[in-house]
Chain A
Amino acid sequence: MSRVFELHRTLSMIAGPSGFEYETAKKIKEFASPLADETLIDTMGNLIVHKKGPGKRIMFSAHMDVIGFMVNSIDEKGFLSVSAIGYHFAPFLHGTPVRFLNGAKGTIYIRSLKAAEDKKIKTVTLNDLYVDIGAANKNEAAALCDIGSVCVFDLPVRQLIGGRISGPYMDDLIGVAVLLLALEQIKDSKKNVNDLYFVFSTQEEVGLRGALTAAYGIDPDLGVAFDVLSSCDTPMTQPDAISSKLGAGPGIVIKDTSYIAAPRVFRHIIGLAKKHAISHQSVMLDVGGTDSAVIQKVRSGVPVGGVSLPTRYCHSPVETVDVGDVEAAAKLAAVIATEPF
């Protein structure tokens, strides 16, 4: 069992959706504290891990929130209607196991399979779904999962062949794992030239909220978000989509839909990857945004770049990544941290 698999499994078992990252933050803090000079959980709930150095302030960011659901109403029979936290592909969720943060479990169903058949992928919404937790009536349900309760996918990460792993919340707990592995690698680094801030940010899935205030507080000289990007190497994607694939190394971001990497940051990261013989690919995303977008805009502006792991089936319960890519991303994060910018 790989270290990456182990780390992701630990994190995904306590995953919380945007706004409910506290347990995840605690677990990450437990892991990171011995590797850093100080840790802090800020107003927005971001966990900021500081490893001091004399040089440039570098802010790494991986968001620790995941997509999920929030109960918005309970009917007389005890079925729960839910609102989305982050983006979901609603029709595919029929039969998907979920668990609430208090441990209650349930399954998501489509209200009417028959009615859904005449709809299209995008016209089925969370309004067409409900969650059954096995409660017999409204009171039973409300006692356990009242309005405002949140749930996440209740499926484990699994090992596939080819060194790949599949499960919910690669987005972005695998980014969290990357930063933790990098922290471990630079633990004994003698040449700690940079002033390093590893930010495990909150509420990314609902609009890149946590990283914004964290960046304001840190006022970095360089910002790099570690996230995932949809890979284009499967029958799922358009044949003409911008290419990126599993197993070819972490993606160094040229642009996504929310920001364009500062050319000198992009060149810096590519240069380091080449210098240290770390496999990598240059990527452009035509969907999604990352923390870099908001880091870029704080105070008088910050040069930013991004490292994104090619990931299949983003926002499904079977997000799939290549362990080799994850390890390479961790190595890349470690060299960005230790080399002068």
Chain B
Amino acid sequence: MADIFKLFSTLASSAGPSGFEEPGGSQIRQLAEPYVDEVRTDNIGNLIAHKAGRGPKILIAARLDVPGFLAFTAEDGGFLSLISVGQHPAFTLPGTPIRFQNGIRGSLNIRRQNESAGRNLSEIKISDLYADIGAKDKESAEKAVPIGEPAIFDIAVRKLYGNRVAFPFSSLPGCVSLLLALQANDSVDADLYFVFSAKSEEGFRGEGGVLAAAYSIEPDLALAVDECTAGDTPSAESGNPVELGGGPVIGLMDASSIPNPDILRLLKTAAGENGIKVQFTANAGPGVLTGPIQLSGYGVRTGFAGIPVRGNRSASPIADLTDVQQTADLIRTFIQLSAKEGRA
């Protein structure tokens, strides 16, 4: 599990918000290159690792980008106003450390805290927050952080009890699972595309960047891998059976798609053959990846495998590394089975 933990740390340190995934892409390129035939970044910023082979064309996708912020204006006193990239519950953010992509560090804080005391927390918006980078005046703030400079949470990946890990971006478990599956370097009769997709937090024509990747790859079948909200916390809404450490989650439905029955069957068989305990949910989240892939081109047979995550709308969510490893195992067997079926 130490290797998986390290992958989390490596990816967290190079993460970028939607539209600014380049450092994360370069990092994954390095990690993937020895195992595949080609790694390319497409026009949208998706990083695509291609392992060429005879057999069905399989697309496995995870999200590369993370939620964050862009510097908006420098203000008197050396403070920066921000706009958000992706959805943040703004009222939870005062006191959160952030790091701009150019290395400048700062913290998020709330304007007029005493006046805000009378407001409902839902009324607190990103415009009520500002970043303090230590700049002494507007000019030095502007110089240090040009307008548009992206920022992300500056919080370390940490080891918790057992195999549990806290990390700053909920898209990381998906990327790590994909990398583990890719680095296992299985030989299969399939044409494999691992897509680390960009712009999932901010719409690209209403969907994430994965839409463009699916369009250009034209896969025969696809599997989207992402986090899946665990329902075993005091904060969970009722009716979510997903447990942390309960194994990979097979999505029966999400907000954007219903999985193709073939893919669902392959996933279940893969779990069975591998002895992986899986969980099922009919509420697998927003379906940021599944819908766009499924509806690309003439349509693609698509399914969803999720990694249970707690606290996923925070700066330090939690996952179980066993779930991450098992999701990687599930992906590998899924690929094997899909290849076999494609050949038959």
Contact = CB atoms under 8 A, between A and B. Distances in A.
B166 A106 contact: yes
Interface of A: 75, 77, 79, 89, 91-97, 104-107, 109-114, 116-122, 124, 130, 132-136, 140-141, 144, 154-156, 158-164, 166, 233-238, 247, 312-313, 316-318, 320
Given A97-B155, A132-B318, A320-B107, A162 B78 contact: yes
B104 interface: yes
A111 B234 contact: yes
Given A317-B96, A318-B132, 9 more contacts: A79-B234, A96-B95, A112-B234, A113-B92, A117-B122, A121-B121, A136-B161, A161-B144, A318-B95
Contacts of B108: 318
B218 interface: no
B: contact size bracket? 35 or more
Which residue, of B118, B136, B316, B318, has the highest number of chain A Cβ atoms within 10 A? B316
A136 B244 CA distance: 8
B89 interface: yes
Contacts of A111: 234-235
A114 B244 CA distance: 21
A244 to B, nearest CB: 14
B232 A236 contact: no
A164 B106 CA distance: 10
B91 interface: yes
B40 interface: no
Nearest to B164: A134
10 contacts: A91-B92, A107-B316, A109-B234, A109-B311, A114-B237, A122-B117, A134-B166, A135-B162, A316-B94, A320-B107
Contact of A97 (B92, B107, B316): B316
A166 B107 contact: yes
A91 B155 contact: no
Nearest to B128: A235
Interface in B92-123: 92-97, 104-122
Interface in B137-174: 140, 144, 154-156, 158-162, 164-166
Name B's interface SS: loop
Contacts of B159: 105
Contact of B314 (A107, A158, A317): A107
Nearest to A165: B134
B276 interface: no
A236 B113 contact: yes
B316 A96 contact: yes
Which residue, of A91, A114, A119, A122, has the highest number of chain B Cβ atoms within 10 A? A91
Contacts of B119: 120-121
Contact of A95 (B92, B120, B122, B144): B92
Given A121-B121, A161-B134, A75 B234 contact: yes
Contact of B105 (A92, A112, A166, A235): A166
A163 B92 CA distance: 28
B121 A124 contact: yes
B130 interface: yes
B324 to A, nearest CB: 13
Contact of B111 (A79, A135, A235): A235
Contacts of B165: 134
A113 B312 CA distance: 11
A161 B95 contact: no
Given A120-B121, A161-B104, A89 B95 contact: yes
A90 to B, nearest CB: 10
B13 to A, nearest CB: 14
Nearest to A239: B112
A317 B95 contact: yes
B297 interface: no
Given A79-B233, A107-B318, A109-B233, A154 B158 contact: yes
Given A92-B93, A121-B113, A313-B109, A235 B75 contact: yes
A158 B311 contact: no
A221 to B, nearest CB: 39
B120 A92 contact: no
Contacts of B130: 235
A317 B105 CA distance: 14
A91 B134 contact: no
Top 9 A-B pairs ranked by shortest CB distance?
Answer: A95-B314, A160-B134, A134-B164, A134-B160, A318-B107, A164-B134, A316-B95, A117-B122, A94-B92
